[in-house]
Structure 1
Amino acid sequence: MRIDEVCTREPVHIPLGCTLQEAAVQMRDQHVGSLIVTEATPSGTRVVGVMTDRDIVLGSTAAGADPCRNSVADVMTRGLVTVDRNNSVAEAMQLMLSHGVRRLGVLDGEAIVGVVSMDDILGAMAAEWGMLSTIVRNEQERERSGHTQSPLRV
């Protein structure tokens, strides 16, 4: 299974200077748990990191910071671990494991075209395991009913 089959397309971006409250509102309104943090430069907008709902909770709220005064830059994670959209889910999981992250930016060349989360991967794997379970269950039913061979031979 490839990453572009399971990732969330069109990641939500937020400028570096926004407040944590603005980030939280953006997450709520867009129904996402992370935002790609960007910064305007003379040569264009560039990605500088990622902000998660967990960053807001642990990095500011738990510390008693004011979400209306503190900015995304105060608690975001600098840098973004990325995976190519054509890579396998196994390669993405290895990246998550080795970098200690739950989300990866998905690249098409140099452009970020999506985000893949541990939840995305779990959902895709659960669907595949569900199909496998159905195949096994169907075969067991066939055996119980006295049909020991599959109706189609390949």
Structure 2
Amino acid sequence: MRASDLMTGAPQACRPDDPVDRALAHMDERECGAVPVVDDDRRVVGIVTDRDILFGIRGNDGRMEGLTVSSCMTEHPVTVRQDDEAADVVRRMRESRIRRVPVVDDAGALVGIVAQADLATRLEDDALLAGYLREVSAAPAVEPAPER
């Protein structure tokens, strides 16, 4: 089983200069908590979560106006390749203590995303899944992107 078997394909993505409300709309449409951020070639340059946006709003005097995705996103996120083995995907997510990971092709272009829910519904190795869920669920929250 590979990342391409685990992932949800064709995820919504934002650009760094998009307003944060566009990222929130994508999250609402897909009922998810994160959106990959891509450049003009769809190469992943960041990821923005609903939590990142909340911290961005807090750092902007409680206002969303004027906030761009780049001001809230985490740059250089962990990614996996679509042909990576499932065990390697889970290991990267566990070691990085992340709940979602963008999946890229050989050129680094976004092709999908693997989320906790994908692991729970598609992963065939129950022991691998249990180990991941135990570690990530107990992990301290990842710090939001630094204020700029």
**Matched position secondary structure for 1:29:** helix
**Matched position secondary structure for 2:38:** strand
Identity percentage of aligned residues: 27
TM superposition shift of 1:26: 2.2
**Larger RCO, structures 1/2 (Cα 8 Å, 6+ apart):** 2
8 Å contact kept, 1:89–1:121? no
TM superposition shift of 1:61: 4.0
**Matched position secondary structure for 1:51:** strand
1:141 counterpart residue number:
none
Within the alignment, does 1:7 sit opposite 2:7 as a pair? yes
Number of residue-to-residue matches in the alignment: 124
| Structure 2: distance between partners of 1:71 and 1:53 | 13
Structure 2 counterpart of 1:51, one-letter code: V
Unaligned stretches of 5+ residues in structure 1: 130-154
Residue of structure 2 aligned with 1:91, choices 88, 107, 110: 88
TM superposition shift of 1:128: 6.8
2:112 counterpart residue number:
114
Structure 2 counterpart of 1:94, one-letter code: R
Larger Rg: 1
TM superposition shift of 1:48: 1.4
Q: Note closer, same or farther for the CA distance 1:103–1:70 as it changes in structure 2 (3 Å cut).
A: same
Following superposition of structure 1 onto structure 2, how do residues 64-143 of structure 1 map, counting pairs within 5 Å? 64-110=61-107, 111-125=109-123
| Structure 2: distance between partners of 1:29 and 1:119 | 17
8 Å contact kept, 1:4–1:85? yes
RMSD: 2.3
| Structure 1: distance between partners of 2:62 and 2:94 | 30
8 Å contact kept, 2:18–2:68? yes
8 Å contact kept, 2:10–2:111? yes
8 Å contact kept, 2:104–2:110? yes
Which aligned runs of 4 or more in structure 1 are off by greater than 6 angstroms? none
TM superposition shift of 1:54: 2.3
TM superposition shift of 1:107: 2.2
| Structure 2: distance between partners of 1:65 and 1:45 | 31
Q: Note closer, same or farther for the CA distance 1:38–1:85 as it changes in structure 2 (3 Å cut).
A: closer
